[in-house]
Structure 1
Amino acid sequence: MPRIRSVAASLDRRSFLAAAGAVSASTGIGLAVGLSGGEANAARPAAARPDAATALSSRKAPAAPLAPYTEGTTLHTTSAPHPGQGYVRLGEGPAWERVVRSDLAAPKAGRTDRRTALAAFVQFTDLHIVDTQHPLRYEYVRGETSSAWRPQETLSVAGAVALVERVNALRGAPATGAPLGFVMTTGDNTDNNSRAELDWFLRTMSGGSITPNTGDPRRYEGVQDSGLKEYWHPDRADFRDADKQLGFPAIPGFLQAATREVRSPGLNLPWYSTVGNHDSLPGGCYASGDSWFHEFAVGGKKLMSLPEDRAAAFWKSVKKGLDPKGDRFRELMRTERKRLSSITPDASRAPFTPTEYVRAHLDPAYAGLGPAGHGYTQDNVDAGTQHYAFRIADDVLGISLDTTDPAGHYEGSLGTAQLDWLKGQLKQAEQDGSYVIVFSHHTSTSMRNLRPDPDRPNEARHGGEEVLELLGRHSRVLAWINGHSHRNKITPHGSFWEITTASHIDHPQLARVVELVDNRDGTLSVLTTLIESSAPHRTDFADLSQPGLGALYRELAFNAPGRKPDLGGDRDDRNTELVLRKG
């Protein structure tokens, strides 16, 4: 199985990898997943500029602070709504305090003076880098679920780059001042299992230029310029769509700005990648490997509207997992072919396979500051796997799981082979005296999909309750960190904590800094601190610069019709100190 990867080993190569990643950025995902140079570049402008290597290799991490600090985190300030009706503007709001949780162990006085830092890192999750013009998008069920279409989606790249910039500006870990070791993404890095989206994600993380546009390079061809009143048309002041009736503004030039080139500095930390269902499955829920999905994705037709009764029936089949192979989706495209809009075909919208996903991470074009493969190795390619272990610190082991069920549906599970591998890693960690942090995309409660893997029909699948029971048998497991639900939630499980973090596509668009400390009193603490992107809290509709678009990304998400206002979680799910007994 894959070797353990070391964060420490990658740190010595930062300058080299930064320069190498920038110089090779122009090879892009065409090399990684098999597109020829002509196909990869036909619909996209050149991805890297001659000065990119200099700009990216010269960036330096800020100096570490001498003491804990809050600047740049939600311990200092948060975005907050101004009073008002209709479309609500955001501005600077109050900080979120740190809450000490004693569910698993009692905190002891004086621990902050005694403690030593063991590790510190950042979690990104559910970035959903999205091609809003992609034919597999199902905006037409917007009336059934707010996740089908969001008015902020066209700005997902600008928003993600602003998050990278926030991490780059952090001077260290907020509670201890310890150096940040790495960033881990816990899945749904892309939205439509699209090669273009994968390229945009990898460039966002490792540095380079991104043009978040597919199809016709001269114009946007998605629902926001469709003439359909159920979608916000930002460029058309005279068009009274449903969102403008709710107070959404007209912003002339918005779509042109949203699809122009974005520059990412890339993270000034090493980064690792965990896979999610939207990374592995077309539409995030259909079994991969069907040539029909490939042909439809790269083709010139897109469904943008659907009668309410048909939309409700279709969404019910998706939500309940009744169409894991996409048979009903194909039938819908056939029966509604008269409603299909014509768009410009684009080969870069093709789905990528799990093997292509791993190979793309191994591509030197996306090396950034490493480590090579971002956790994945050639062993993963050879074995057809997407799980691995890596050394967070001398006495802390990280384990990245692949919880997507290849048989389809957005809920997850583990196959027996991966579960047995996990058992082996946990046993070895106990023997080594290593603490363990587990990363996955799915939460324990969203691992209920036990359909057999089509490539391993005789292998059993295992759900979240079984994984919880396994982790609970090993006292060295400290935390299971995940995403998927787009919600902040921290749950105690006997001897360890399950830490679920909100997405960066839905409001409140957060990431999480995690610190592990030894309190030197028989307890450990896991400290969590939420961060927003670097974008200004206050927006200006006339500011369509890259930072201005990042700010709009947040404000539009806050105002998205049908959004769930509780995704930020309670105070106990945000900035916390999670105390544990020392195992």
Structure 2
Amino acid sequence: MSFGRLVPVLLVLAACNSPTASGSDSETSGEAPDTTTTTATSSTTGEPPEPTTSSTTGDDDSSTSTTEPLPEPLPPLPGPVPLTDEELRTPAHPVDEDKLLDLRVPADVEKALAEGYGDVMVGPGEPVLPRTLDDQEPPAPGPAPKLLTRFVHLADTQLADDESPARLAGFDEVSGGAFRPQEGHVCHMLNAGVRTINALHVDTPLDFVLLGGDNTDNAQSNELEWFMGILNGAPVVECDSAIDDDPVPGPDNDQKDRFAPVGLDVPWRWVTGNHDILRQGTFAILDWSEPIEGESVGGTRDYGQPGAPIVKGTVPADPARAFLEEPDQVALVAGDGDGHGITAAAVELGRAFYTFDVEGTPLRFFVLSTATITGASLGLIRPVDLENIIGPTLDQAVADGKWVIVTSHHRSGSLSNGQEFGIGTKFDDALTPEQWREFLGGYDNVIMHLAAHTHRLMAEPMLPVGGHPYWEMVTPSLNDFPSQMRMIEVWDQDNGSLTIKARAFDLVTDGDPIAEQGRTLAVADFTTGWENDGRGTGPDQRNVELWIPTPD
């Protein structure tokens, strides 16, 4: 997500690129009122604790007692999972355009929840709307339509180490802020998402889960460890850094306690986003000192205080917070399990460009890495990428008779020249959104560009001048309201047409009050006026059946 609305404060922060810099920031309208200093002193003993690292293996859980038994995973959800064409959750509280409550303040969080800002109503679903590239009525299906693939698109989790000194939690603006009241609950929200996908898979078998990028929030090693541990079903995950926090005394009852994730029952495929390789999704990590220890200049959270307020000052150390450069990240993902799509060529390149086919069908997915290590949250595609990677890969798909779904974190409208409000490196040869659409339009075997980044549901025809039309689709954030994913099906309609049927669905949080609390806070973040509407501009962006002629 772009931080364009935070430009004044971000440019000030860019000058404070050392963890030993002064904690006195310029006053801005977006700064949290609480700037209490946090230290490494234990709230119970008065002695500084030893730094600890979280474990997803169960072999080195240094932050909890070695005699404590491992937690048990939550049981499978009973099906079927309602999709949003069957059941729709809508906020019960109107959006407060005046932003009278500031959810960075613990007292305002309590007030917002007490006043129903996080409440929802459950009602009838929205229908699946058929759409064609020329807005004409779709043809009748042929005698033997065939399902080619069914998968889930899971985007913008932005799983955060919300206690890291590298964060900018003191700043918040609508659709551009670096703080979310639910950020500490996202590990449990992701686990709820996994349980939901698994239950969906029982009734409607899935081929895989495709990520949308921005899987982590701050390019940190521990965030990636937690993220993969949850998807893989590690014996234990503890989304807590440095001090062993326990906001609600006792095990398995707050967002900082360790838990046993259930793990996906289907394969998952990696896509890189700007938050996966940049500090707060915007700043080049090579321009900053490691977030292992130091001064919190931009604000982070202190779970040693009631409500985990935003604080500045000395932050306890944790070596697990080290930034992870993109080549190392790609190699780590490739070395995990089945490699999650990452090929040896991608590892050698140090960027997640790769393809995978749906067995027994003409479908090929082409994963692109559109984030740039030089900074700025927007996407970047350059002619060198077209010449060396993208063009040859699409040419090979033509030669192989494959129909292609291109997928990346950034959609065409989120591409830039590599610079955003003075942040990042400007590349004069960067492709514009129009040039990228024209390029893809030169391949009549491309049927869709699937993306994320905007945190909202979108589906639009791309009609490049003189080129081949195709669809562009965007999935919202698991983190932000409405905290949804998409189930996507590609059908051969046996009439000279393909359809791409996409339906959004919500988390099912049964038996997981921590995940439900996180989703409730995400609703409140929207209704208090601090987050845009991730449901998009209308029903034709949400549950859709997109028609396109079958490629020759």
Alignment: residue pair count? 450
Q: How far 1:515 moved relative to its partner?
A: 0.7
SS at match of 2:490: strand
- Partner residue of 2:493 out of 519, 526, 549: 519
- Partner residue of 2:218 out of 192, 197, 207: 192
Confirm whether residue 293 of structure 1 aligns to residue 259 of structure 2: no
Q: Does the CA-based 8 Å contact 1:104-1:579 persist in structure 2?
A: no
Q: Tell me what 1:405 maps to.
A: 372
Instruction: Name the TM-score, length of structure 1 as normaliser.
Output: 0.70
Of 84-93 and 131-140, more deviation after overlay is shown by 84-93
Confirm whether residue 206 of structure 1 aligns to residue 232 of structure 2: yes
Q: Does the CA-based 8 Å contact 1:302-1:343 persist in structure 2?
A: yes
Q: Distance in 2 between matches of 1:145 and 1:186?
A: 18
Distance 1:476 1:448, change over 3 A: same
Q: Distance in 1 between matches of 2:251 and 2:377?
A: 32
Q: Does the CA-based 8 Å contact 1:302-1:340 persist in structure 2?
A: yes
- Partner residue of 2:436 out of 451, 467, 478: 467
Q: Does the CA-based 8 Å contact 1:358-1:373 persist in structure 2?
A: no
- Partner residue of 1:550 out of 515, 534, 547: 515
Distance 1:558 1:180, change over 3 A: same
Write out aligned runs for 1:55-454 (5 A).
71-82=81-92, 87-104=117-134, 106-108=136-138, 110-111=140-141, 114-142=144-172, 147-171=177-201, 177=204, 179-208=205-234, 209-218=236-245, 257-290=254-287, 292-294=288-290, 297-303=291-297, 340-364=312-336, 367=337, 372-393=338-359, 394-420=361-387, 421-450=389-418
Q: How far 1:183 moved relative to its partner?
A: 0.5
Distance 1:73 1:254, change over 3 A: farther
Please give the per-residue CA displacement for 1:480-504, whole angstroms capped at 9, x wherever unaligned. Answer: 0000010111110132110011111
Q: Does the CA-based 8 Å contact 1:70-1:76 persist in structure 2?
A: no
Q: How far 1:47 moved relative to its partner?
A: 2.9
Q: Unpaired segments of 5 or more residues in structure 1? A: 1-40, 63-68, 221-234, 236-251, 307-338, 537-545
Distance 1:88 1:456, change over 3 A: closer
SS at match of 1:210: coil
SS at match of 1:121: strand
Confirm whether residue 506 of structure 1 aligns to residue 480 of structure 2: yes
Q: Distance in 2 between matches of 1:172 and 1:104?
A: 36
Of 82-91 and 396-405, more deviation after overlay is shown by 82-91
Q: How far 1:260 moved relative to its partner?
A: 0.5
Q: Distance in 2 between matches of 1:124 and 1:144?
A: 23
SS at match of 2:346: helix
Q: Unpaired segments of 5 or more residues in structure 2? A: 1-49, 60-68, 95-114, 301-310, 464-468
Q: Distance in 2 between matches of 1:142 and 1:126?
A: 18
Q: How far 1:521 moved relative to its partner?
A: 1.1
Distance 1:70 1:534, change over 3 A: closer
Higher helix share: 1
Q: How far 1:415 moved relative to its partner?
A: 3.1
SS at match of 2:148: strand
Please give the per-residue CA displacement for 1:505-546, whole angstroms capped at 9, x wherever unaligned. Answer: 11001111111111111111000011111214xxxxxxxxx6
Q: Distance in 2 between matches of 1:219 and 1:552?
A: 16
Q: Tell me what 1:476 maps to.
A: 445
Distance 1:218 1:70, change over 3 A: closer
Q: Tell me what 1:325 maps to.
A: none
Distance 1:83 1:113, change over 3 A: farther
SS at match of 1:141: coil
Please give the per-residue CA displacement for 1:142-176, whole angstroms capped at 9, x wherever unaligned. Answer: 25766321111110100011001111001468xxx
Q: Distance in 2 between matches of 1:95 and 1:517?
A: 23
Q: Distance in 2 between matches of 1:112 and 1:74?
A: 27
Q: Distance in 2 between matches of 1:458 and 1:555?
A: 41
Q: Tell me what 2:540 maps to.
A: 572
SS at match of 1:404: coil
SS at match of 2:480: coil
SS at match of 1:301: strand
Q: Distance in 2 between matches of 1:120 and 1:269?
A: 12
Please give the per-residue CA displacement for 1:331-368, whole angstroms capped at 9, x wherever unaligned. Answer: xxxxxxxx84222111111110111111211234xx2x
Identity %: 26
Distance 1:139 1:457, change over 3 A: closer
Q: How far 1:390 moved relative to its partner?
A: 1.1
Q: Does the CA-based 8 Å contact 2:209-2:269 persist in structure 1?
A: yes
Confirm whether residue 486 of structure 1 aligns to residue 458 of structure 2: no
